[in-house]
Every structure is written in C-alpha cells, then in structure tokens.
Structure 1
Amino acid sequence: MRLFSYFTIQSNVIVLAAAASLALRPDRDGPAWRVLRLDALLGITITGVVYATVLGPGLQHSGVDRWLNAAVHYVSPVATVLGWLLFGPRPRLDRRTVVLAFAWPLAWVAWTFAHGAATGWYPYPFLDASAIGVPAALAGTGVVLLAGVVLAGVLRLLDTRLPRSPGR
C-alpha cells in the first residue's frame, strides 16, 4: 500500500498508461485521455524537478537501486517531456483539461495528509506534518502545487505554439 502512496510511483504509472495507449493507438483522443496525458506530463515533470532539487541531493544509491532510481526520477521525466515535445499529440490542452488535470494531484495531497495524520507515515520528508509541522508541510505542498499550475500554463502555451501532430 505504501509503495503506491509515493507520487513518484503514481506519476510513472500514469506515464506508462498514457504511453501504452498512444503506442496502441497514436491518434488517441478524448476528454478523459487528454487529462490522463496532461497528468502524465505534469506529474512526471514535478517528480523529476522535486527529486533533483529537494529529495535527491545527498542521497547515495547503489546496485540495482541506483538504476531504478535513475529510471523513475530522471529517465522517465526526460523521456516523457521530450516525447511530448517531439511527437505530441498536439493540440490537446484546453482550459477544461488543465482544470480537470489537477483532480489527481489534489486527491493525492488530501490522501497523503489524511493517511499521514492517521498513521504517522508520510512518503516524503517535506510533507511530514508530524516532524516539520502542519504549516511548513502545507507551505511546501502549496509551492509544489503552484509550480504545477505554472507548468500547466507553460504546457498549454506550448501546445498551441508547437507544430500540430500529423493528421490533426
């Protein structure tokens, strides 16, 4: 249960679902799929940035952990963003899609704080309200959510400016 409480795991699973659906049907579209694709982009980008700037510095992994860590925190974010930049599909990001894409991250935040309050376990140190206090944990969460909103705006802008996907 705790493994799937990590945003890193959830974002990588969403990336896998979006990528697999595109591999099976490159012309995939629809409101729910657009939200899934944007959640993949937002979630994995946030995963990579937060890990590289907050969580990863100073950590030493060895053996297979080194490879797995690199795959979920560095390779997946870079490959996902590059794939979207190079291949799209575009255009797909309207205002409704952007708003709906925040349902998953907000649900994850609510679950994380509720689960942490009930069990005393938090997936990341900067969210550990019992260790750093509720105001600090909420402030850190707010910064990440605000970064997500800015990122969503940038992705939406790029979605309108980058070349359309073939066949669109």
Structure 2
Amino acid sequence: MPSQSKLLSITTWLLGLLTLVAMATQLTIHLRLNFSLVNFFSYFTNLANLLAALVLIATASLRLASRELSPALESARAVSAVNMAVVGIVFSVLLRNVDLGSLQPWVNVLLHYVMPVAVMLEWLLRPPRTRFTARHVGLCLVIPLVYLAYVLVRGAAISWYPYPFLNPAHAGGYGGVALYVAGIALVFWLVACLLLIVPKRRQVRNH
C-alpha cells in the first residue's frame, strides 16, 4: 500500500474513533442531565454519525490489511456518504442558528461540519468499485424515510420532536411538516443520484 494511501486510511480510522468518543462524551452529558436515552438516538445526526464512524473504521481497517471491500460494505459507504452530506446541508440551512442546548461546541463542529466533509472527501478520493444502480439510490432513501416516519409517529404520541421543522407546532402544522419532509426527501434523492454517478465516471475512464 502506498504511503499516501496508508496515511489516508490511518486518518479516517482515527477520525471514526474520535467520532465514537465524541458521541460517547455527549451521551454521558445527556444522561447526566437525566435526558432520555431514546431521545438521544432519535437525532438523525447521531444515527448518521454512528454509522459513518463504524463504516470509516471498517473500511480503513480492511485497507490497512490490504483487503478488498465487499459489495455490502461499499453499499454501506454509499448510504453513509449520502446521510452525512444531507446532515451537513440540513444543519447549515435549517439548524445553524438553533439553540443546541447541552451539545458541546467541539462535538457540534465534529458531527455537523468535520464529519460530513471528511466522509465526502473519503468517498470522492476513493470511489467505490461497485457498479451502482437505481436500486442503490432507493436503498439510500430507506433509512431517512423510515426515520421520518418514526419521528412523526413517536412525536405525535409523546409530543417531542428532535428537530423544530418536524414539529407541527413550529412548522405551521402538518402541512408545513409535509413540505419540509418532501424537501428533505428530495435532497436525499438528489445527493444519492449525484454521488452514485462518481463510480460510473471512474469506470468509463478506466475502459
């Protein structure tokens, strides 16, 4: 493995580990303040960063061992890259000026800024060899759609929502929530389509 490639793998491995440490730190603070464990993992940012950290560690470990990534892991990379890109976009557009409560500033920067950029760079610098299709684009939409359904059903039951734009009381009713949901779903679809074009272009250049 070339030294530059090895350095990239070590860096991404360490970044994945740092993200797990950041999330554990924030979870400890969250529980110390008697906040709900379920609520902590009801934030899409936390779910997306947890997946991204595990994927980074897994892919970096395999590359350091000079082993190929399986199609399943490449698919997980695609899902993670799409999730993290949207996390960065949605936070910057809708949540940048929202009160983040007990969220530590360094954790906020890592989860909302550093990780989205890092995951995207890792994807672009190392495009997957798997040939993606429309089915993979659909796969990237499964998690966010299930998540949105979960948040809306649970929120209606307990009157708690992780994000103000999903709360009918702050979004102008369910009609306003529906517009936000449709917009976010569209962003997921567009990002998935754009990211899955990258490996196809690489394959064309290699032929």
* TM-score past 0.5 threshold: yes
In the other structure, the counterpart of 2:197 is 157
Query: RMSD of the TM alignment (CA)?
Result: 2.2
In the other structure, the counterpart of 1:90 is 129
TM-score of the aligned structures, taking structure 2 as reference length: 0.72
Alignment partners' CA distance in 2, 1:117 and 1:162 = 46
Larger-Rg structure: 2
Instruction: State the 1:126 CA deviation.
Output: 0.4
1:14 touches 1:39 (CA, 8 Å); kept in 2? no
Q: Which amino acid aligns with 2:152?
A: F
Q: Which amino acid aligns with 1:90?
A: R
Alignment partners' CA distance in 1, 2:203 and 2:184 = 29
Matched, 1:76 2:125: no
2:81 touches 2:119 (CA, 8 Å); kept in 1? yes
Runs (4+) of structure 1 exceeding 6 A deviation are: none
User: CA, structure 1 residues 25+60, in 2 after alignment: closer, same or farther (shift >3 Å)?
Assistant: closer
Alignment partners' CA distance in 1, 2:143 and 2:44 = 10
Work out the percentage of aligned pairs sharing the same amino acid.
30
User: CA, structure 1 residues 154+109, in 2 after alignment: closer, same or farther (shift >3 Å)?
Assistant: same
TM-score of the aligned structures, taking structure 1 as reference length: 0.87
- Note the residue ranges of structure 2 that are not aligned, 5 or more in a row: 1-37
Alignment partners' CA distance in 1, 2:47 and 2:133 = 23
Alignment partners' CA distance in 2, 1:16 and 1:39 = 13
In the other structure, the counterpart of 1:22 is 59
Alignment partners' CA distance in 1, 2:70 and 2:122 = 17
In the other structure, the counterpart of 2:156 is 117
Structure with the greater relative contact order (CA < 8 A, sep ≥ 6): 1 or 2? 1
User: CA, structure 1 residues 38+116, in 2 after alignment: closer, same or farther (shift >3 Å)?
Assistant: same
Instruction: State the 1:111 CA deviation.
Output: 0.4
Report how many aligned residue pairs link the two structures: 162
